[in-house]
Amino acid sequence: MQKRLIVSNQLLQIMLERLAQQLIENHHDFSNSVILGLQPRGVFVAERLQKILERITNKPIRTGRLDITFHRDDFRRRESPLTANATQIDFIIENQQVILVDDVLYTGRSVRAALDAMIAYGRPRKVELLVLIDRRYSRDLPIEATYVGQHVNSLSSQRVLVEWRTPETSEDNIWLITKTEEK
């Protein structure tokens, strides 16, 4: 396995600040806007953005967690069952501008599932998509992000790993993982 750093800790912080500024530019005081992080990895991005936005705007930003497990088109096709995560939406999304947040946009299938899952909570006025990484040239569905941290050209055999600071890792980083053939 070969790991190549594509976004360093410092660049990731700059990227999050820039994305927050873009959101403020389009959503002003967020009085008619909400953020939904896609479970599980989009939640980390959404919570980071929420903290930055609240610091800049000095206002609470409504942020929730959306589980898409049972809306995935591959739910019944997997050998091992998927474990559902909790959906936590403590506000009404009816007639709101919803910003769906995920870490990596790849085939677009997770976003399609999120759109299906979200409708159970109301009909939003508008839906936008924010992703840290957009893996170009890999869509199965015609889905495009409104806000992108960085575009990455990658092969289908590669994967993007967003690594958040934990007791095991000292920094936030984004890696491009390439499986190497064993000889």
Residue 138, amino acid: S
* Contact status, residue 147 vs residue 23, Cβ threshold 8 Å: yes
Confirm whether 2 is domain-assigned.
no
Q: Domain holding 147: CATH number? A: 3.40.50.2020
Residue 88, amino acid: Q
Query: What's the pTM value of the predicted model, to 2 decimals?
Result: 0.91
Q: Which domain holds residue 130?
A: 10-18+32-69+89-153
- pLDDT at residue 130, rounded to an integer: 98
Confirm whether 175 is domain-assigned.
no
**Overall number of domains in the chain:** 1
Confirm whether 98 is domain-assigned.
yes
Confirm whether 176 is domain-assigned.
no
Half-sphere exposure of 106 (CA within 13 A, CB side): 12
Confirm whether 47 is domain-assigned.
yes
Confirm whether 169 is domain-assigned.
no
**Helix or strand holding residue 20 (H, E):** helix 9-27
* Adjacency order of strands within the sheet including 97-105: 63-66, 33-38, 97-105, 126-136, 147-153
**Helix or strand holding residue 45 (H, E):** helix 41-57
Confirm whether 42 is domain-assigned.
yes
Confirm whether 83 is domain-assigned.
no
DSSP 168: S
Per residue of the chain (183 residues), give pLDDT as tens.
899 999 999 999 999 999 999 999 999 999 999 999 999 899 999 999 999 999 999 999 999 999 998 786 555 555 666 667 888 999 999 999 999 999 999 999 999 999 999 999 999 999 999 999 999 888 999 999 999 999 999 998 899 999 998 888 789 999 999 987 665
